[in-house]
Structure 1
Amino acid sequence: MGLFHVHQPTVPIRLRPVLQPATEVEMTTTAVRMPRTVPNRDEDVMGLTFEIAPRRGGTPPSDKDACRVGAVRRIAAARLRYCGLEAMTDHVALIISELLTNALLHSGTKEISLTIAVRDGFLRIAVRDGMAGCADHGEVDEGAESGRGLALVDALVKESGGAWGTGDAGAVTWCRLTVPAKERV
C-alpha cells in the first residue's frame, strides 16, 4: 500500500512522494479540480486512511508521519473547494490538523483515518485512530508549548454553532460544523 489510501471514486487524487536526501520526506499533491455549477450538499467530501509507524516510550512521531498531517490538510482543503465549501476551508483545515496531530501523538495506533461529509446542513469530520481513550482538553500552563489543540477545536466548533466529541469508546474523535447559509443550495 502507498502512503495514503484515498476513498474517493468521483475525483482522482494522485499522491506523489518526493524523496529528499537522508530520511526527510516531502509530500506533494496533485488534485484534478473541475468546478461545479451547483454543488451537491448531502455528500461524502472525502475519506482517507494512512498508516503510521508504531511509537514506543513517548518517542516523537517520525518526520515522515508528521508530514502526513500537512499533506492531508492540503488534500482536504482542495476537496472542500471542489465541493463549493471554500468559506469553511480555514477552520476545517485547522480542526483537521489538530485532530490528526492528537491521534498521531496520543493514540499509539498504526493507522489513522479521516472522513468528511455533508449531511443535513452540517459538515461532519471524524478522525479514527482505533484506540480506546477519551480526547479531552484540560488546563494548560501558560508557558507550555503544546496542549491547546482540543481547546482550539472546541472554540472553532462553538463559533460555528456545532459540536464535537468522541465515539466508539474514544477510538473516534468527531466534530460537526454548521454549513453557512450562503454555502447551502
Structure 2
Amino acid sequence: MSPATAVAPAPATLRPQTPHAFEVAIAPDPVRVAHMRRITMAFMRHWAVPIQLARDVVVVVSELATNAIQHGHGAVRLRIRHTCNELHVEVTDDNPAPARLQAAADDDVSGRGLFLVHVLARGWGASEDGRTTWATFSVPAGRS
C-alpha cells in the first residue's frame, strides 16, 4: 500500500502508551538476574533517572527477580513504566502465592530481600492473583 492510500487503524484498536516503558521475560535461571540489572540500569540512564534513584530501582529489580526465580514458577517477567513523577516496577511469575515480608534471624543468610524493597521503594505489594510483585518510586520534580 502506498503512503497516500494507507488507512489508519480504527481508534478502538489504539492502546494508550506510557511516556516510557519496557518489558522483558527471562528463563528462571539465577544468572539472568544480572541481565535484568544491566537492562534496568541502561533504561534508567536513557531516561535520565537520577543515579541514586536508578541504583535503588536496580536493587529492587534484583530482589524481586531473585524471589520470582527462587519461589516462582515458569518465566519471570519484568516491566518498568516511567511517568513524569513515578517509576513503577512489576515482576511476574506463575506462582499464585504472593510475596510476603518476613523477619530474618541474625544468622540467616537470606530472607531480607523484601525488607530492602520495603525500605527503598515508596510503596510495594502484590497483585490480587499473587503472581505480580510491584514497587513504586517517586521521581524528583523536573526529572522526567
TM-score by length of 2: 0.82
**CA–CA separation in structure 2 for the residues paired with 1:120 and 1:86:** 13
Give 2:85's aligned amino acid.
G
Q: In structure 2, what is the equivalent of residue 59 of structure 1?
A: none
2:92 equivalent to 1:116: no
Residue segments in structure 2 that go unaligned for 5+ positions in a row: 1-17
- Whether the aligned pair in 1 keeps the contact of 2:90 and 2:134 (CA below 8 Å) is yes
Q: In structure 2, what is the equivalent of residue 136 of structure 1?
A: 100
| Cα distance per residue 1:110-155 (max 9 Å; x no partner) | 2110000013511000001022012111111101000000001000
What does residue range 101-112 of structure 1 map to in structure 2 within 5 Å? Answer: 101-107=66-72, 109-112=73-76
Q: In structure 2, what is the equivalent of residue 150 of structure 1?
A: 114
2:59 equivalent to 1:94: yes
1:170 to 126, 130, 136: 130
Q: In structure 2, what is the equivalent of residue 25 of structure 1?
A: none
Normalized per residue, which structure has more strand?
A: 1
Aligned to 2:117, the other structure's residue is in SS state helix
Aligned to 2:94, the other structure's residue is in SS state coil
**CA–CA separation in structure 2 for the residues paired with 1:119 and 1:79:** 13
* Percent identical residues: 30
Give 2:95's aligned amino acid.
M
**CA–CA separation in structure 1 for the residues paired with 2:90 and 2:84:** 16
**CA–CA separation in structure 2 for the residues paired with 1:120 and 1:170:** 28
**CA–CA separation in structure 2 for the residues paired with 1:89 and 1:168:** 27
Count of residues in correspondence between the two structures = 126
- Whether the aligned pair in 1 keeps the contact of 2:84 and 2:139 (CA below 8 Å) is no
TM-score by length of 1: 0.64
- Greater relative contact order (CA < 8 Å, ≥ 6 in sequence): 2
**CA–CA separation in structure 1 for the residues paired with 2:35 and 2:42:** 11
- The structure number with the bigger radius of gyration is 2
